[in-house]
Amino acid sequence: MKTSRRDFVKSTLATGAALAFSNSPISASDFLAQNLVSKPIPSSGESIPVVGIGTSRRYDVGAIEEERSPLRDVLRKFSQMGGKLVDTASSYGRAEMVTGDLVSEIGNRKDLFLATKVRQEEKDAGIAEMEQSFQRLKTDTIDLMQIHNLQGFDNLMPVVKEWKDAGRIRYVGTSTSNQRQYADFAATMKREDMDFIQVNYSLADRAAADTILPLAADRGMAVLVNLPYGRGRLFDAVVDQKLPDWAAEFDAKSWGQFFLKYIVSHPSVTCAIPGTAKPKYLADNIGAAMGKLPDAAMRKRMEQFYDSV
């Protein structure tokens, strides 16, 4: 994480989130779960909190306890605070395996919504990769299986849907993090019934709002957002900027919350998945799922502010 993020977070943790790390007699789950902003998955009506966890890069660690300990702490506190969705992929190095190991150790699988991805051109290779995901995640049911970056979509989506019908997978979808794929991505969304899509979107990268997000709403698809901090570009842009006073109007107490609240306030967005590997960042990120969200006029003001820095 960028140095600027560390500086921003030091004194700006949301009050409610901070309780999860104190000796308060009010448990984190009792205090926070009922306060987290959630949105429904259109295809089922099941609600999930608007901030989840991404595991790319940060969870690609070895078996050394020093490397795994903070991740275990994050995943434990995440569910205690009412968090649900954890997104990983078999192509994220060891991240999928590490996620499965830690969730099994903690014993909070039933409290989480586990999303992963398959990325193979051929059907048999895709089946093998998905079977491996079940083993790595140590679960009989995967909540969301996504065809990663459309790779092998036509060969694999029929299999994923068969597994959904069989109860092994609860939801199906596809993902992208590259604007160059948007035309093919939109075409796929138009012809295929899916529960979820995943796409890159942030104040620094708003192209998905032109076509992908409205199409998801029209097609009744939930939206996960990756790269919510634009690979650190957002924090770099405001490194010398003070959080504007008007951010308090939508309960943003840090730049991280400012950026996340912009994303999850979009009517089409279901959940943002910032990479989260440290408890202090978890507390800050979860704070974005609490309190008010910016309305359309405020979102426009946020865009104008960012474009001016």
Q: How many percent of the chain have pLDDT more than 70? A: 89
- Side chain identity, residue 74: V
Q: What is the strand order of the sheet 113-118 is part of?
A: 53-54, 85-87, 113-118, 142-147, 169-175, 196-200, 222-226, 271-272
Look at residue 147 and tell me whether its pLDDT is greater than 80: yes
Containing domain of residue 272, as a range? 3-308
Beta bridge mates, 174: 147, 197
- What is the Cα–Cα distance from 276 to 301, expressed in whole angstroms? 27
- What is the Cα–Cα distance from 291 to 35, expressed in whole angstroms? 8
- What is the Cα–Cα distance from 271 to 259, expressed in whole angstroms? 13
To the question of pTM greater than 0.95 for the whole model, the response is no
| Residue 273 CB burial class (10 angstroms; 0-12, 13-18, ≥19) | buried
Looking only at the bridges linking them, the beta strands covering 47-49 and 38-40 are antiparallel
b or e along 125-157 (b: 16 or more beta carbons within 10 Å of the residue's beta carbon)? ebbebbeebbebbebeebbbbbbbbbbbbebbb
CATH code for the domain of 277: 3.20.20.100
Task: Give the model confidence (pLDDT) of 182-202 as tens digits.
Answer: 999 999 999 999 999 999 999
Per DSSP (E only), the strands in 119-158 are: 142-147
- What is the Cα–Cα distance from 42 to 181, expressed in whole angstroms? 24
Comparing 240 with 150, the larger pLDDT belongs to 150
- Six token digits for residue 139: 């679960």
- What is the Cα–Cα distance from 19 to 106, expressed in whole angstroms? 20
- Six token digits for residue 298: 């405020």
Q: Are 252 and 240 in contact (CB under 8 A)?
A: no
Banded model confidence at residue 3, pLDDT cuts 50, 70, 90: very low
> What is the count of structural domains for the chain?
1
Among 127, 71, 120, which Cα is nearest to 99's? 71
DSSP 243: P
Task: Give the model confidence (pLDDT) of 45-91 as tens digits.
Answer: 999 999 999 999 999 999 999 999 999 999 999 999 999 999 999 99
Look at residue 4 and tell me whether its pLDDT is greater than 60: no
Q: What are phi and psi of 100, to 5 degrees?
A: -60, -45
- For residue 34, the model assigns a pLDDT of 58
